[in-house]
Structure 1
Amino acid sequence: MCRVIDMRQAVLAKNDALAGAVREELTARGTTVVNLLSSPGSGKTALLERVLLGMRARTVPVAALTADLATENDARRLARAGVPVKQVLTGGLCHLEAAQLRSHLEGWLPADSRVLFVENVGNLVCPAAYDLGETLRVTLMSVTEGEDKPLKYPTAFGLAHLVVLTKTDIAAAVGFDEAAFAANVTRVNPGVPVLATSARDGEGVDAFTDHVLAVAAGTEVHRPRMATGRLGPGKHAGDHQEGYGHGLGPRAHRAHPPGPGPRHAAPGHEPGGPPTVTAR
């Protein structure tokens, strides 16, 4: 009698268990992990550099770990902020896993770090399936990528605690449809806060920083509906990543356990309705 073993589920289950341990360890030492997901060229490195500079100006102990298949370009850019930065070269792997994160933090992350930003590999497919032990999962998208991006990558957007729109300074030039984008975000993740940002002119940078620090202070994060294993009538999280090989399915509810207290949404934004793209 042959026994069929789903190796993918076994790998993800092992990662989930380790991610839970990482989360407990870092939470115990007072460190909040922010996992940044986006496609290549979204501008997340430029935005993160400004956020790191702002946190340093506020004397917040912050660090950043950035992952790429090759080159240390992003680490060199982020190091200009004058905070601890580490580059992880994945050697061709399209995502980070909890074991990698844990091994790279050992002996490097300063003990007083209040916030650790993890800039994941530029990819909206594989990274979405792997919990790293983060407290806050942020999915970023630039105005140049098209309003239907949330529908094309529903797991990446559907499991986000926060969605960040980047490069808004050129939104008019590229004909970005904000209303269509907001409606598409709502379809995959009702009630998720959405922030509009521009690393060039500074729009939304303080709002993003404030959001991260509020989470670090204990403010409850948004609870994605997909994290309960459902996206809508008859649809489960895993059903929306056909062909990608990293559907989350019923295991998704373990990735980001909800904490106590009410859900907090962005200003001008009601759960269940189209989000308002906001910046302060």
Structure 2
Amino acid sequence: MATKKQNAEIVSLFEEKAGAGIGEITADDLATPRIIIIQPGSPQIKKKAVKYLADASVGDLLFTATNTIVDGDEGIRFLPVYFDRNYIEWNLRENGGGFVAAHPKDTQLLGETQRDAQFRDIRTYSDGRQTELQNTANHYGYAMIDGTSQRCVINMTRSQLKISRSWLGLINGTRLNGKNGEYTPPAHSHFYLIQTEEVSAVGKGSYYNYRITQERILGNKEVSLFREADDFSKFCEGGGMQAVLSSSEATAAKAALENQSSKDWE
């Protein structure tokens, strides 16, 4: 995808950071503010649930830090700064669910699992207890919420992994022309629009998935945001998120499980 030259001041910074923001680390992301999709089974639309939100509807986006609801058609502007992937181990939903552990993307434990009828990677312990290892793509960045940039992460699993791969392809396919020729600018050179769309699965009803498009390049008035995003990217690369999150990962992971929909797992 080619992008015309513009905003010379900030574009010169892009060239200095060519290719940044698409590396991988093994940091656990589950305690950061997140963007999630309100699904048919989400607690935010159940009137008797503790997390019920009167203005939430199926297909909306939720920014968890402030319980801000955004219409899925309107979408949220997002500036990506870093990507990683890991495996989250969960107790099975039918046994009550619950977070077990976070494992690196190259974990050897995957070789100990068996794929069940629901296409889940099941790990069986010596005492007979079973868990699921769930491949998780984590997109760190800034969400524009009520006109303010907010650090957060978008966690993608199962059917959302295809969306994640397409998004990475869009980022890697972006090109700018610089003083040394064509180059790939850092991920945080462009805003992306995060929306939702309804998906129907044969025999399994419908659920909502992400729809992501590239919106625009940052302008000269957004140099400070670019520099802040660059610092956040370096922080993630250095494993900073892992240190920040280690003290509260179990609590946050429990919240992540509660906000998922079983239909989104298909």
Q: TM-score, normalised by structure 1?
A: 0.25
Larger-Rg structure: 2
Q: Which has the larger share of strand? A: 2
Q: TM-score, normalised by structure 2?
A: 0.26
Q: Which has the larger share of helix? A: 1
Q: Higher relative CO (CA 8 A, sep ≥ 6), structure 1 or 2?
A: 2
